[in-house]
Every structure is written in C-alpha cells, then in structure tokens.
Amino acid sequence: MQKNLVIVESPAKAKTIEKFLGSDYKVLSSYGHIRDLREKGMGVDVQHDFKPDYIISPEKETIVENLKKAAKEAEMVWLASDEDREGEAISWHLSVVLDLNNKTSKRIVFHEITKNAIIAAIENPRDININLVNAQQARRVLDRIVGFELSPVLWKKIMPSLSAGRVQSVAVRLIVEREREINQFSAEAFFRVTAEFLLQDGKSLLKAELNKRFATEKEAQSFLESLIDAKFTVEDVTQKPGKKSPAPPFTTSTLQQEASRKLGFSVAQTMSVAQKLYEAGQITYMRTDSLNLSSLALGAAKKEITEEFGEKYLKIRQYHTKAKGAQEAHEAIRPTYIANREIKGTAQEQKLYELIWKRTVASQMADAATERTTITININSRKEKFIANGEVIRFDGFLRVYNESKDDETQDENAEAILPSVLVNEILSLGTAAAVERLTQRPFRYTEASLVRKMEELGIGRPSTYAPTISTIQQRGYVIKGSKEGEHRTFVTLLLKNGKVDKKTKPELVGADKGKLMPTDSGIIVNDFLTANFPKVLDYNFTANIEKDFDSIADGKVIWTDTLNNFYKLFHPVVIAVADSKSEMKVGERSLGNDTKTGKPVSVKIGRFGPFVQIGLADEKDKPQFASLAKGQSIETITLEEALKLFDLPRTVGEIDGKEVTSSVGRFGPYIKIDSTFVSIPKSSDPYSITIDEARKLLEEKAQKEANKLIKSFTEEPEMQILNGRYGPYISYNKLNYKIPRGKKPEMLTYEETKQIIESAPKKENKKRKAKKVN
C-alpha cells in the first residue's frame, strides 16, 4: 500500500513535485477539472437554489477510475491543485468524486514548486476552503446562465451560431466603442516649429521647439519669415534634480502587457509559457494580482544586487496592490531562485524568464538619479519662446538592469537629449527653423496587452480570466487581430535657411495599424443588440460589481446562491421580453438608400456567411440581388456608392484567344479567371479597373511559374510527377507528397525508381479524405 498520494492538476507539475518527495509519495495528475456542468441543457437547476448539475467529463472517466483506485490504496491523499479559486474547486471536485474525508485527505497549497515550499505545505495542511469553491461555482454558474439564455435570443434576432458571454461581451463593447471613436475622429492639421541654434563657440548646436503650434500654413509661413531678422537670446536656464523609480514586480496583467511590448507575445502565449515555467519550478504562481515579495525573495534579491552591483544599488521595497478588486493573497510573479539568472528551456521560456528575473531584481534596486535641464530662448521679446528640454542620468540605479516599456498611447514624441552648456543672456545664431505639418492623434486601437490593462482598470475579470476572455472573443469571430492599410496624405514642410523660406511636400502613410484588435461586423451587431436590450449586463460598473460579489463570496461574507438569485431576478424577465419583441427591420440591418438604376431600396445586413448588400425586398415580384462585402468593408461604414459598385462584379475584362476573362472578388480577395484558371489580382490593381493587358501578364506569369514547377512527368502514370516545391523537389502522386532521398537527382529519376521511392515510403493517409469533424 502506498502511504501518500499527491494529486495535482497537470502532469508537468506532478513530474517536478515527484523529484522533491521520497518513495513514500506517489504523485498523479487530474489533468485539470475532472467534472463540469452538464452540456445538455443549462446544467443548472434554477428552481432549486441554482443547484449545479455536474458530470464527469467523458475524456476524464479513465483518469477518475485510476485516481479512485490510487486513493483507496493510500493512507493519506494530499490535494495539491493551484491555490486560486479554480484550483480550490478542482480539489473540492476531487474530494467529492473520490469520496475523500478529512481524516484521510488534506489540502495543501504553495505558490512555488520548490522542495522547501512543498515540505512546508505538507507540514501545514488545511481543509478545503468552501468559500473559495463557492466563489468559483458562482462565476461558472452565472456565466452558464448568461450564455444559455442570451445565445438563443441572438439566434432568433440576428442569426444562428452566435453566442454571448458575460465578461466577453463587455470586452467586445470596449473594442467596438474604441473603433467608433476612431471612425468619428476628425484629424486636424497643425504646424510644429523646431529650430537649430548655433552657440557662440561656432560649433555647438542647440535644438529647441516653439511653445506654440500654428493651425494654418499661412500662419507658420508668416512666423518663419519673422525669424529672418530676429535676435535670439537665452532667457532662462533651469536645472532640476529628478528621479526615476523602478516598476513593481510582475502581476498577471503587467506580465502580459510587458511580454507583449518587449517580446511580441500574445496574452495566451504569455500564459502558456509562464505555466510551463511554473510547473518546472522556475517561477512562482503566474495568476496573481499581488505585488508582494516574500522575505526569502527579498533576501535573495539583496544578495544578488549587492554582490553584482554594490550596496549603493540596493533599495528594498514592499509594494502594495492598487488593482481594483485585487483578490489573490500570494506573491507577485518572480523567479523561485533569484540566484539563477538563466534557465534551460525553449527560447520562449528563456526570454520570459529573463524578463521576470530582470523585473524582480530591478524592483529592489535604487532609484535612478536624473538632472533635467530646460533652456528658454527669447525671440525679440515676443511671447512665443523656443524651449529646449534635456535630461542626463547622473546615477543609473535600477536602469542598469531593466526599464519598463510603454504602449503607443504613452510614448513621448519629444525624446529628451543631452543639452550643451549655455549662459543666461547668451546670444544665439539661428541655423535653421522648420515648420512641419502634422495631424492630431486619433485614439489608439487596443492591443491584447492594452485591453488587459483597461479591463484591470475597470475591475472587469480577474488574473485567471484575461487570457481566456481575449482568446474567446477572437475565436467567436467578434474581434480580429487585424491590420489597416491607412491612406497616403501629403504633408507640408516649410524650411527657413539662409534667410529664405522654402516649401517642400512629402507623402506619408497615416492611419495604418498592424496587429491591433478590431471588431468584426458580427461583433458590432451583437454588441449593439446586447447594449440596447441588456444594458445592465454590458454595463462596466455592473460587471465590476459582480466581480466584487465573487470576492465577497470568497471572503465568506455573502452566500453564493443569493448573488445568483439577485442577478437572475433582474436578468431573466428581460430575456423573455426581448425574445418576444418584434421589429420591422432585422437586427443589424442598415438602409443605404435607393439603387440609382431601379429605384429599389438598398440595405446592408449580416447573414450566415457574413455581411452582404441587398437590392430589393424579399416580398417583391423580382427576387432581390445580393453581393458580399469586400475585404476591408464594414456594415457600419460602407456607403451607397461602394455598395452598388459590388454589383459590378463579376466583370468581363476582355478576351484572350477567344476565351472570356472575368474579374471578381472571392474569399481570398480579388482575382481574374479564364476557363478554370484563377489568378489573384495584386494590391497595385483592382477588379474594377484591371485591363486585359494586365490580366494577360498575370496569366502568363502564372503559366511560367507552373511550367517551372514541373520537373518531370511519366506517361505510364500521368498523376505521378516530380515537382519543385517551397522546400525543394518532391514527388507528387495521388494527392500525396513524398520526399526524394538525398543524393538522387530529381530530373534523372526513372519511372521505376520513382515508383520504388513511393512504395518504400511510410504509409500515408490522405488528410482531406480522413479529416474528422471537429465539434
């Protein structure tokens, strides 16, 4: 009989813990939750105090049987799932399903997987905290109720296959509202004036910016001309000492944000890599909003800093969490062994570990000492002044190790430089002055990282929910991580040099975005419907208050079923009323006007296969005409002219060798077609204006490419070909590909040799034929 059975939620975690415990301990994994709400129906008995209907997941049945057997054979079962609410719920489900009792089972928690932490946990076991379990149950049940009752309403009012989630819907609302701010934003041009002055030594240059901006080119021109005979003197020089303090150690949200900015990781990618580091015993638990560091961690940081950088670089700090509704009591995210600067692992694991190590150590280092200098330059005693700002690092402090990155929204466009030494009343000579046209900055689209920060500010969600929320809204097709091409705009630059003002123009791309979160038409329509009909559910404060209710349940201050009852009394009647309501127009439908040719109404709406334009009405004698929106077009912004243009396709471009060539737009973008041959139209052209000569060139280029692709074919077997591929030559036969052995010249292979290579290759299945439906 095994004396001790330790159950954790992941195999990797089990493997690491097993190293620290002796032969008296057996460590097994539950592979996450072993049971969940029944999928058929709501899975919750609303009439009987919201009793959850839990079932063991089919894929977990074998795991549960193995755990039951091992638990019966053990003298003591240690439930060692993570220490947050989700982990507490896993332990509770295990306790119920395995029929454990307090005498033969104990709950142990630790926020780092080290030998000392595991031994300390075993020496200080506790019972399952039912308040934490109920907080998790409340979240799970409430989210199921919202999804189960709202989704059918969306199917009925908008289209099938849509779904709604409590926190996810609020996250989509944030993105939709930001997109509308951008669309409604009207950029205004202005002129920013900078100048370069020559000091009296005839060598040193001083760059400064005018403390006023001009609205028009005429004003900027007039100002520059007034500088031609102006006198410039140093009016004031101020020097102020300053300091920069390090950022606190990582919480879940700040790690997600910084990994995005510095490493280019998605939120989900960050959590996946962090999970692996935690389970390998490299970092502390990665779902936390605590800024606290243990005394052991502080001692280790102190040793590392003083030995590597010296006593003057040390400043021990204890940070306090300011996050709205912070709940987790364990530590910030830090290395388990601060003495380990590097670890073994994948490139991603090493990069994320290095980021965590630097942030942790820097948080306990001295402030950086700076000196900020401001030079004010007088222009003929005018009220406008040229200002030069500079900053010098006198002591680097924590900057020796780490400096926090910034999002687009917080970047300072005036990078401060080191300034030359000048005296008050010193006369300066103007070298050049330039007035450069710029545009007022529109709001920034959210990145995954900045959306996490906004959700945290509003108190929406918790450390364990940020990544799943952002992944879910993208998987459901409500939000995409996309790009905007922007548009070219001509900007004016006025340059004063040698007593003369010259004008230059330069085209620049404005409004372009890459890798930002944007709402889809489905996301916008669902958001508008839910906001209009369920304002309470999508209200930011209401969502944050629900999170506070979960916190109160976790603290034992509120009964979890009371929270559900209060919510359901408000929510359910609204669902019934909205489901029964009738509307003349389909939800999401937008009228654009009338067709200029037929006079029939033109509308744009969402359908099963995406957004489309409709000319005419369904109940008219003539059937309506339909056209899908092109890539980059939106229900919200498409104009009548743009909508009618969609019906110009497919368009006859001309003929080649007596065969018709047409252009159109498909799911992969614009294309031309002749017979059964399709060729994509490049961005430099479009399907509405492409000429027959341009089409002929594209077809010839494709034919040449296809000709170069074929190395050899065989009359014995027409389907057997030797082709040039992306990774070199290969054999293609019956829609399957085969590698050519090294040393073989593809063009010299005979039919028999090629057949031999195919027959001796490992047996393959045609993936297209064998593909299974994924639910």
Give me 709's structure tokens: 């692709």
Phi-psi bin for 390: left (phi > 0), alpha (psi -120 to 50), beta?
A: beta
Complete DSSP assignment for 250-312: B-HHHHHHHHHHHH---HHHHHHHHHHHHHTTSBS-SS-------HHHHHHHHHHHHHHT-GG
Q: Classify the phi-psi angles of 431: left when phi > 0, otherwise alpha if psi is within -120 to 50, otherwise beta.
A: alpha
With beta carbons less than 8 A apart as the criterion, state whether 60 and 31 touch.
yes
**Buried b / exposed e along 422-449 (16+ C-beta atoms within 10 A):** beeebebebeebbbbbbeeeeebbbbbb
What CA–CA distance (Å, rounded) separates 553 from 569?
A: 19
- Residue 711: how many CB atoms within 10 A of its CB? 17
User: From CA 109, how far away is CA 118, in angstroms rounded?
Assistant: 8
Catalytic residue, from 25, 278, 285, 568: name it: 285
Cβ atoms of residues 505 and 490 within 8 Å: yes
Q: Are 220 and 214 in contact (CB under 8 A)?
A: yes
Distance separating alpha carbons of residues 83 and 121, to the nearest angstrom: 11
Instruction: Please name the residues in contact with 676: beta carbons below 8 A apart, sequence gap of 6 or more.
Output: none
| Exposed/middle/buried for residue 229 (C-beta within 10 Å: 0-12, 13-18, 19+) | exposed
Residue with tokens 């990994």: 259
* Cα gap 472→691, rounded to integer Å: 43
Total residues found in the chain within this entry: 775
Query: Considering only CA atoms, which of 254, 368, 267 is closest in space to residue 319?
Result: 254
Q: What are phi and psi of 38, to 5 degrees?
A: -60, 135
d(CA 603, CA 528): 18
CA–CA dist 570, 555 (Å, integer): 25
Residue 285 falls in the annotated catalytic set: yes
Burial class (CB in 10 A: 0-12, 13-18, 19+), 597: exposed
- How far lies 170's CA from each of 108, 256, 473, in Å? 35, 20, 10
Chain-centre distance for alpha carbon 704: 41
In sequence order, what are the residues at sequence separation of 6 or more whose Cβ sits closer than 8 angstroms to the Cβ of residue 246? 317, 362, 363, 364, 365, 367, 397, 398, 402
DSSP class of residue 318 equals -
Alpha-helix residue ranges (DSSP H) falling in 104-214: 115-123, 130-157, 166-184
List of E strands, 421-466: 427-439
SS3 613: strand
Catalytic residues: 285
